[in-house]
Every structure is written in C-alpha cells, then in structure tokens.
Amino acid sequence: MLQMKKVALALVLGSALAAHAEDIKVGIALDISGPFSALGAEARDGFDLAIDKLGGKLGGQPAEFLKTDFGGSPEQANQLVARYLQREKITFFTGPIGSNAALAVGPALFAAKVPYLSSNPGPSAYAGEKCSPWFFAQYQNDTYDEAAGKVANEKGYRNVVLIAPNYPAGKDHLNGFKRLYSGAVKDEIYTRLGQTDYAAEIAQIRSAQPDAVFFFLPGGMGINFVKQFVGGGLKDIPLIAPGFSADEDVIQAVGEPMLGVLNTAHWTHDLDIPANVEFVAAFRNKYDGRYPSVYAAMAYDSLMAMDAAVRDVAGKVEDREALLQALRKPSFKSVRGDFKYGVNNFPVQNYYLREVGKDAQGRLTNKLIGTTLEQHQDAYVGACKR
C-alpha cells in the first residue's frame, strides 16, 4: 500500500561503440527494496562481480548492463520490462527474485523474442504447460524440496511436520517435499504470509513430537521461526529445509541456532569445481570475506551464460534462432558443474545436501555433505508440449 516510490538506479557500464548491427543490452531487474531485498542485494553482488570479470563486455563485444530496482512488485516489474523492451531494446533479461514477478514479466519478453535467463525462480508453470523456448531456468522451485524429502528418507525420519506460508508457492514447496518423502506427515501447518510470531505453531510441533521438521519460510519469516524454535527448547528436533530457507543471509541473521540445519540446493560454495573455486575466491575478495549465497552464484552464472552464447554466435545477436541454439547448449563452465537443459529449458543437474556448520575461522556457514539427487529432472517437464 505504501510502496509508492520508485527508485530507479540505471547504471551504465561500458560504452556502446557499436560496430555491429545490434547493441547488446542486458536488462537486469533488481529487488533492492521490497520483500526480497536481502536476496536482491545478494543477486546484485553476483551480477556486479560477473560484470567486473567480463570487463563490461559479453562475448568480447561491448555491452550495456542496465540495472534497475523494481521493489519486488510484479506491477513495477511489468512497467520496467515495458521500458526495457520499447526504449532500450534489450537483448537479454534477468534479475527478479520472486516467482510472482517472473510470471508477470514473462509473456511480454517471450512475445518480443528476448531470452529471459532467470537468475533465481523456476516457477512450475514455466516448466510445464506454459513453457517457452525463451525462458531459461537455474532450477525448478520444487526440486529443492524433492531433494529434502529424499534426505528425510535417508536419515530415517518417519514422522515429519511440514510448515510453510499459506500462499501458492508454500503449497508447491510442501507438495515437492511429499513427492519423494515416503514416511508419514504428522502435521501440515500453513501460517500467514509475513507472519513473525510462531509461538502457536511451535506449541503444535512440541505436542506432535515429530522426528524432524521441514520448513519452507523464506526471508524474515524463516529467521524468526528458527530463533523461536530454538528459544522454545525444541533444538533436539532436527530441521530440514530447502536451501532458500537456510542460505547465507538467513544463517548470518539467525546465528548459532542455525547449527545443524540440513538443507538442499543445486549449488554450494564449497563445491570443488575450478569455476566455482575461482568464483567463490573472487566473491569473498570483493565483499569482505562473506560467502556467496545461491542467489549470488546464479546471478553470476546467468551473465556467464549470456557471455558464452554471444561468443558462440560471434556477436550476431540479431539472429535470435542461432542465439537460442547457443543458449540451449551452454559452452561456459558453470559454478554448479556440468548440467544440460531438458526440453523445457530447465536444467537436469545434481542436488546436494548441505549442513550448517563452522568454517576454519569459526564462521557459521553451509558445508557440503554429499549428493542427494544425481542428474535430476523436474516433475513438470512432461507437461511441456511445444
């Protein structure tokens, strides 16, 4: 209601000395303010690092990177994309954190034949019946939860309580968990979106006495939940989460109570792959020793994917069909390791188990435990007909 201010910070990097037919412009919509602000800041840092590394170019061609905050609002994202398309005539689009913004801006981009390389959300609609050749995902939202369900099986948890906010994504994530989990669901709790006080839910969990609790509570909701969970004396009940609810931003905000939280993701900062080691070192060097989160890593990867595709078509981005072919067969070294796209342009890739522990300096962070799902594909690909 009160979010009426638009702070547009268009930062122009690199000059457009255009010797070729089309200037390469990348439209980046950022969540610097709004509900996903902490995650948006992570993504921005990942983009900035990639732009530094690429020297402000894509595939060796001069490129322009337009970065604008849209405050997490789908309406503002729509206006921004309209401007990007009509005034700036962008070549690529990326940036939003929320699935709602991704779903809002997709149709206009696909109609304008602008590839949208999502740096974060992979909504089920775009993986299934509304799939588009112009949308490229980093992962499908539910796959994290599927991996978490398998972790629960492997740990031998037979009675699990599930908790998520009462909105479409919350239900998707719990359904994702139940897809591979084979034990009993002791209780399924839906909370108000944006709820900060979890006393009533924690009492329910205490009385249910589960083997473990699976929670999908992104951002501030998860921070409050874990603090109150431990404060309420439930720290002996193991917590499992999709990586979103236990990434670096949450870990640093919650502190010690996060120790031992199991979570799943398709990337982790201690993955021993040369491209990743280089990325993590550069990130920590640029940002005061902080570990990158998935949001930063995937923002970085998105620009690397664009860079490789532009190089593969020798800068001729106006040939959109050739550009799509190049994007579909990524020739860059991803920080997550090797992956390939399914027919819906959603990756077939590994998912890892991480546990919150301490690094050599005693800093709380996620540590890689092992691979949970190998070369896993999302559940919606069958519905993608085109």
Partner 1 sequence: MDFIFVFEQVLNGLGYGLMLFLIAAGLTLVFGIMDTMNLAHGSLYMAGAYIAARVHESSGSFAGAVLLAVLLTVVVAVVLEALIIRHLYRRDHLVQVLATFGIILIADDAVKAIWGVAPLLASTPAALAGPIEVFPGLPYPAYRLLLIAAGLLVALGLYALVHGTRIGMLVRAGASNRQMAEFMGVRVGAVFAFVFALGAALAALAGAMMAPISAVQIGMGEAILIPALVVIVIGGIGSIRGAFVAALLVGLVDTAGRAFLPPALRAVLPPALAAELGPALAGIAMYVLMAAVLALKPAGLFPARA
Distances (CA, A) of 332 to 6, 65, 300, 301, 302: 35, 20, 12, 9, 10
Binding mask 206-225 for partner 1 (x = CB under 8 A): xx------------x--xx-
Among 183, 232, 238, 357, binds partner 1 (CB under 8 A): 232
Among 199, 260, 321, 382, binds partner 1 (CB under 8 A): 199
Q: How far is the CB of 236 from partner 1 (least distance, A)?
A: 11
Q: How far is the CB of 190 from partner 1 (least distance, A)?
A: 4
Q: Does 184 bind partner 1 (CB under 8 A)?
A: no
Among 42, 45, 146, 201, binds partner 1 (CB under 8 A): 201
Among 2, 17, 19, 360, binds partner 1 (CB under 8 A): 2
Cβ atoms 268, 19 nearer than 8 A: no
Q: Does 19 bind partner 1 (CB under 8 A)?
A: no
- For partner 1, the closer CB: 227 or 328: 227
**What does the alpha-carbon distance between residue 76 and residue 70 come to, in Å, rounded to a whole number?**
6
**What does the alpha-carbon distance between residue 246 and residue 217 come to, in Å, rounded to a whole number?**
9
Among 22, 23, 88, 188, binds partner 1 (CB under 8 A): 188
Among 26, 29, 38, 373, binds partner 1 (CB under 8 A): 38
DSSP, residue by residue, 221-272 = HHHHHHHHHHHTT-TTS-EEEEGGGGSHHHHHHH-GGGTT-EEEES--TT--
What is the Cα gyration radius of the chain?
Answer: 20
Among 63, 189, 265, 317, binds partner 1 (CB under 8 A): 189
Q: How far does CA 173 lie from the centroid of its chain?
A: 14
Q: Does 231 bind partner 1 (CB under 8 A)?
A: yes
**What does the alpha-carbon distance between residue 304 and residue 53 come to, in Å, rounded to a whole number?**
10
Cβ atoms 45, 7 nearer than 8 A: no
Distances (CA, A) of 196 to 200, 223, 241: 11, 9, 18
Binding residues (CB under 8 A) for partner 1: these are: 1-2, 5, 32-34, 37-38, 41, 166, 171, 187-192, 196-197, 199-201, 203-204, 206-207, 220, 223-224, 227-228, 231-233, 253
